[in-house]
Structure 1
Amino acid sequence: MLSIAEKLDNLQRHTTDSEQLLIINDISWQMYESLLEDLADNSYLRIAYLEGILEIMSPSRRHEFIKTNIGRLVEVYLEETRTRFYGLGSTTFRQETVARGIEPDECYCINCEKPVPDIAIEVVVTSGGINSLEIYRGLQVPEVWFWENNCFSLYYLDNGNYQTLARSRFLPQLDLSLLAGYVVSPEPMDAVIEFRQKIREQRQK
């Protein structure tokens, strides 16, 4: 049986055009924290932990392209609407008391900094991993956005459980369909320029 170190080595050797998931059961919190420390200099891998189950993802080129586009476009919207924000990227959020930890693709605190982000964004290219929404529920993250199949699905934490949303509670004027159209643009710079102009036009109406 391969050790965790050997499994990680195999994971890191894959080609950048494919996405790889490694799921390991029966991992203690101490082992999880030790692994985070060992991989502190490897910002490429994404690590999630849920009650003894560890997921390590090596994201694909497509995954990183999309998540970068989303982050850039969301920040354009925040800038243009003069919404004060704090971008925390893929910061690791974890809490031992609920045995949960995760690194969002992108995340933001709105108006002021907080212990956990107001909005966490996850890009789903490969299914079959840990239930990340359950991790976010335990960490009490108010709003989670999933990007899957070229569209957004939003969830808002209400009385301890997530409910689906048509619009963001934190950014209620943001047109998610418009945003989604620019996320998939093959020309990121053109998408940013056009999206910025659309926002300005909408604000002038």
Structure 2
Amino acid sequence: MLINAKLPFDLNHLSQKDQTLSLAGMNWADYEKLDSQEYLGYRVSYFNGVITLVSPSQNHEVIAEVINYLIVAYCRQTNLLYYPMRSTRLVNKPLAAKEPDVSFSFGARKSIPDLAIEVIFSSGSIDDLKKYKSIGVAEVWFWQDNQITFYQLANDGYTEIANSIFLPNLAARDLESFVNRGFSESPLTIESDFINFIK
């Protein structure tokens, strides 16, 4: 396969650090050769001739899962219809492709999620917004350095917003205080406190 010589990543470091491999000078045909069944556990993206593979660390997955739990809790509490899409491969052939950490559509099942979430631990960057803009995701959240930032897609790109457009009255600053508890607490406790907060 295209990159077998460079895989697998160093599993000894996966609890703390993401393992990332970027391949420049690639094209869409190279990207399509990456079979997700063959590279289970890796998140694969493509943009501007670069294929990036990420094997998320344990901490990365903890934060992503807590965010997922809290979004579901919010939807249940507010009776908002939600459709989880998790890390579905999103594509705008032949320009961009991305697999978010968490994603949802709301109100109805859609081919492109309304909301995508990226956890930036030791991989990824705000440059991922360029990929999401090309794909057309309306709202993107980034967790990085214990902070969550919400972005809304406009005609000229993404602008930072304080409150989610799809989860009304949910502020980034409020959400992050619950998400960051995921390093030391069970999601069950965090979810219970979060529900009491949004009531």
TM-score in terms of structure 1 length: 0.88
Q: Deviations over 1:109-138 (max 9, x none)?
A: 011122211110000111566821000010
Larger Rg belongs to: 1
Q: Does 1:19 align with 2:15?
A: no
Unaligned stretches of 5+ in structure 1?
201-205
- Equivalence for 1:74: 71
Which segment drifts farther, 179-188 or 121-130? 121-130
**Aligned partner letter, 1:87:** P
3-state SS of the aligned residue for 1:184? Answer: helix
Assess if the C-alpha contact under 8 Å between 1:100 and 1:138 holds in 2: yes
| Structure-2 separation of matches of 1:20 and 1:190 | 30
Mapping for residues 13-162 of structure 1, pairs under 5 Å: 13-17=11-15, 18-35=17-34, 37=35, 39-40=36-37, 42-97=39-94, 99-127=95-123, 131-162=127-158
Q: How many residues align?
A: 194
- Equivalence for 1:6: 5
| Structure-2 separation of matches of 1:70 and 1:197 | 16
| Structure-2 separation of matches of 1:129 and 1:170 | 23
Assess if the C-alpha contact under 8 Å between 1:23 and 1:54 holds in 2: yes
- State the Cα RMSD in Å: 1.8
- Equivalence for 2:169: 173
Instruction: Say if 1:41 and 1:6 are closer, same or farther in 2 by CA, change over 3 A.
Output: closer
CA shift for structure 1 position 176 = 2.7
**Aligned partner letter, 2:59:** R
Which segment drifts farther, 107-116 or 81-90? 107-116
**Aligned partner letter, 1:184:** N
- Equivalence for 1:193: 192
**Aligned partner letter, 2:111:** P
Instruction: Say if 1:4 and 1:42 are closer, same or farther in 2 by CA, change over 3 A.
Output: closer
3-state SS of the aligned residue for 2:191? Answer: helix
CA shift for structure 1 position 70 = 0.5
**Aligned partner letter, 1:16:** L
TM-score in terms of structure 2 length: 0.90
Unaligned stretches of 5+ in structure 2?
none
